[in-house]
Amino acid sequence: MAKGRVLLRGVTKCFGAVDVIKGVDLEIAPGELTVFVGPSGCGKSTLLRLVSGLELPTGGSIMIGDRDVTLVHPSERGIAMVFQSYALYPHMSVAENMGFGLKIAGLPKPLIKEKVAKAAEILQLTPLLDRKPRALSGGQRQRVAIGRCIVREPEVFLFDEPLSNLDAALRGQMRVEIARLHAKLGATMIYVTHDQVEAMTLATRIVVLNAGRIEQIGAPIELYRHPANLFVAGFIGSPAMNFMDGIVEAVETNSVSVRLNGATLRLPRHDAAVKPGAKVTVGIRPEHFRVGPTPADMDDDQAVEFDAIIDLVERLGGETLAHLRMPSLSDGVLVVKISGDVPLRIGTGLRVGIRLAQCHLFDADGRAVGEPAARAVVAA
Amino acid sequence: MSLISTPRRDVAWIGRFSALLRYGVLIGVGLIMLYPLFWMVAASFKPNHEIFGSVSLWPQDPTMDGVVKGWRTGTEYSFATYLLNSFAFIMPKVVLTVVSSVLVAYGFARFRMPGKQLWFALMVATILLPKSVLLIPQYLMFREFGWLDTYLPLYVPCAFATDGFFVFMVVQFLRGIPPDMEEAAVIDGCNSLQVLWHVVVPVIMPAIISVALFQFMWSLNDFLYPLIYLSSVGKYPVALALKMAIDVTEATAWNQVLAMSTIALLPSLIVFFLAQKYFVEGITSGSVKG
């Protein structure tokens, strides 16, 4: 029994001459909450609409459960969808909105009422059932939209950026509610967002899309620790990873030496498939820089320190983002995240340390090189 | 203190004066525009000799004579017959116009079809076509159908969304409405017509009411088409009856004509004020973000 499984095989979609989805293969296990993330125009919403049936694929096949639904009408796919704009019917009450699908399906009125009441209870909408959408707040409207999905008892819930119209506080609250709902219903959910925090916190697995292709699929932490390529490395994590151009100087069994602007880093790597002289990119996350003296228990192999000049300081309260110039690493400005409210003055110098094991390495094509920084996980 | 308060008083005075000037001009121009209407209503209650004999708006010798005699008309039918005649073809005309325009507009606004741009441009081009160009071919066609001296030529064409203007109006309205609601309805199991009926029609109600209202008023005022297609006096609508009252008698009883014109205005006015709240109230509020 594969109820709730979603399987995409070689799915493509063209709008006229534009290829929006360029061959996607993906299996979503029953009960998983899969998040599609990617920049605007990467095709994540289109992919969701292909699963929903609102768009038909140009090529490939889509299975939901054990059925091939590639050409099946949206209402018969066993899916329900929450739209970014809520898409409630303005002239119907909350109860009518939630029961509309069942009414169209020809269910008897008492049964509709019962199902609506049940869903309303789950979402705490019972006191609002007689109201019109315009009398509801943004969060309530989104709950009604979710309620409309629940009453249909779908195999798969589809969410198309459901929280992006809400303010920050409400977004956080609704995020928790969706996570709770997923735990309670145990249904398969596909969730499209461009918000990393939503993706990282909600997802069982994240699918990173770029220009109509899947860049990487994996658990949130896996994507954060072991990005498969430059795109994922730059996209996951906020602020984005710092990238520095370099040239390979030497390759050994357990390390790769990379010459940056001024310094040479000896990065721990097993069986790295790069040759000396190759152009590479070294990546370091802002939170992996360390300001202050190196702890005594770290040897030179693990940590390196550099001089930096402070270019700009952004104070977020709980943490501080320092934009630093480190001529020995890069010509550009590197962003460093320091926890706490550290007193920093623009134009002054600073000593900044990095752990080599936490550095990412990408070849000229942007692919991660060798065994990714596995030791960093242990060390962290 | 005095240094500050003096200019302030000046500013307040200038503000009040400019408001006075603004409203004065507005009221003046408004009165000039509405004067013919007031004159018509007033003249309905004047005896015939007073209409052109006095400049005063207010009847010096008020009489219901014009209303009573005008209602009786100079023909064998009362004015009520002509009013009912008008409604006899306006009602189906309004219904057919609304149904066909909404269907066609929905098609243009929401469906992909080959050559859509071209069809839409052609449709808009028909708005620019002078009506008189079609008059003779249409007359010949309806004569072949045996529809002369019936109301059919007046309303049957509306079943085919021939009023490009209304289609254009509804298309523009639909373009301003996000299609998310309709997609939600598709997922809820609606076919295209169910989407149209359950979701689109309630949402575009203000546009539909505008279409109905315009068609109602324009049809009530229409003179040319009834004149061409209707020959029996018993089938004449209001517009023809008014014209008839002017030229059947040698000395036109202007107070009767004006009294009936005033009555002929009433249906449009009543319908307009009944429908007014739908223009004001945006029915889509609350469905999508905001």
pLDDT confidence tier of residue B4, bands split at 50, 70 and 90: low
What residue segments make up the domains of chain B, in order of their start? 2-66, 69-280
Among partner residues A75, A89, A165, which is closest to B187 by beta-carbon distance? A75
Min Cα–Cα distance to chain B from A250, Å: 57
pLDDT at A217: 95
Q: What is the DSSP letter of B200?
A: I
| Closest Cα in chain B to A152 | B188
CATH of domain B69-280: 1.10.3720.10
| A28 Cβ contact partners less than 8 Å away, ≥ 6 residues apart | A5, A6, A7, A34, A188, A190, A205
pLDDT given for residue B168 in this prediction:
92
3-state secondary structure of B30: helix
At B249, the pLDDT band (50, 70, 90 cuts) reads: low
Residue A85 CA: distances (Å) to CA of A108, A166, A193, A236: 30, 10, 13, 26
| Tens-place pLDDT, residues B190-237 | 999 999 999 999 988 888 988 998 899 899 989 999 999 999 989 999
The burial class, CB within 10 Å (0-12 / 13-18 / 19+), for B9 is exposed
B188:A52 CB<8 A: no
pLDDT computed for residue A73 by the predictor: 92
Of B184, B190, B198, the CB nearest to A87: B184
Q: Does B283 touch chain A (CB under 8 A)?
A: yes
Question: Are the CB atoms for B179 and B153 separated by under 8 Å?
Answer: no
pLDDT band, residue B285 (cuts 50/70/90): very low
pLDDT tens for chain A, 380 residues long, are: 578 899 999 999 999 889 999 999 999 999 999 999 999 889 999 999 999 999 999 999 999 999 999 999 999 999 999 998 889 999 999 999 999 999 999 999 999 999 999 999 988 899 999 999 999 988 899 999 999 999 999 999 999 999 988 888 888 888 998 999 999 889 999 999 988 889 999 999 999 999 999 999 999 999 999 999 999 999 998 899 999 999 999 988 888 899 998 888 888 887 788 889 999 999 999 999 888 766 666 555 577 888 899 999 999 888 999 999 998 888 889 999 988 877 888 988 888 888 888 899 999 999 998 765 444 333 33
Total number of residues shown for chain B: 290
> Quick check: B285 contacting A, CB < 8 Å?
yes
Is A132 within 8 Å of B185 when comparing Cβ atoms? no
Query: What is the distance between the alpha carbons of residues A106 and A99, in angstroms, rounded to a whole number?
Result: 11
Provide the whole-model pTM.
0.81
Most distant pair of Cα atoms in chain A: their distance: 76
CA distances from B184 to B106, B179, B189 (A): 17, 9, 9
Give the torsion through C-alpha atoms of B141, B145, B147, B148, to 10 deg.
50
The domain defined by A239-379 folds into OB fold (Dihydrolipoamide Acetyltransferase, E2P) (2.40.50)
**pLDDT of res. B290:** 37
- Closest partner CB to B283 (pick from A91, A104, A152): A91
Q: Which chain B residues are within 8 Å of A73, Cβ to Cβ? A: 186
- pLDDT, one tens digit per residue, over B252-269 is 788 888 889 999 888 888
Predicted confidence at residue B7, as pLDDT, reads: 61
| Residue numbers in A near B286 (CB within 8 A) | 88, 90, 132-136, 141
B208 touches chain A (CB under 8 A): no
- Dihedral of CA A147/A152/A158/A160: which sign? negative
Question: Which of B99, B93, B75 has its CA nearest to residue B221?
Answer: B93
Q: Name the residue among A213, A214, A155, A215 with its Cα closest to residue A186.
A: A155
Please check whether residue B284 touches A, CB under 8 A.
Answer: yes
| pLDDT higher than threshold 50 for residue B288 | no
Confidence class for position B282, pLDDT limits 50, 70, 90: very low
What percentage of chain B reaches a pLDDT higher than 90? Answer: 46
* Three-state secondary-structure class, residue A257: strand
Quote the pLDDT of residue B188.
Answer: 92
pLDDT digits (tens, 9 = 90+) for B157-198: 999 988 899 999 999 989 988 899 999 999 999 999 999 999
Q: Containing H/E element for B100?
A: helix B79-110
> Is the CB of B192 inside 8 Å of chain A's CB atoms?
no
Question: Best residue in B180, B187, B190 to probe A by mutation, most A CBs within 10 Å?
Answer: B187
A-chain residues near B186 (CB < 8 A): 54, 73-75
- Is the CATH code 3.40.50.10490 the one for domain A6-231? no
pLDDT band at B132 (very low <50, low <70, confident <90, very high): confident
Considering only the beta carbons, identify the residue of A75, A86, A138 that sits closest to B186.
Answer: A75
Average pLDDT over residues B231-244: 89
Q: Measuring CA to CA, how many Å separate B183 from each of A14, A45, A75, A87, A137? A: 20, 14, 10, 8, 22
Q: Is B281 on the interface with A (CB under 8 A)?
A: no
Question: In terms of C-beta density within 10 A (0-12 exposed, 13-18 middle, 19 or more buried), how is residue A275 classed?
Answer: exposed
The reply to whether residue B286 touches residue A89, judged by beta carbons under 8 angstroms, is: no
CA–CA distance, A127 with A147 (Å, rounded to integer): 14
Name the more confident of B282 and A268. A268
8 Å CB contact of A89 and B181 = yes
Q: Which residues of B touch A150 (CB under 8 A)?
A: none
Provide the pLDDT for residue B279: 60
**pLDDT single digits (tens) B49-95:** 888 877 778 888 888 888 888 888 878 888 899 999 999 999 999 99
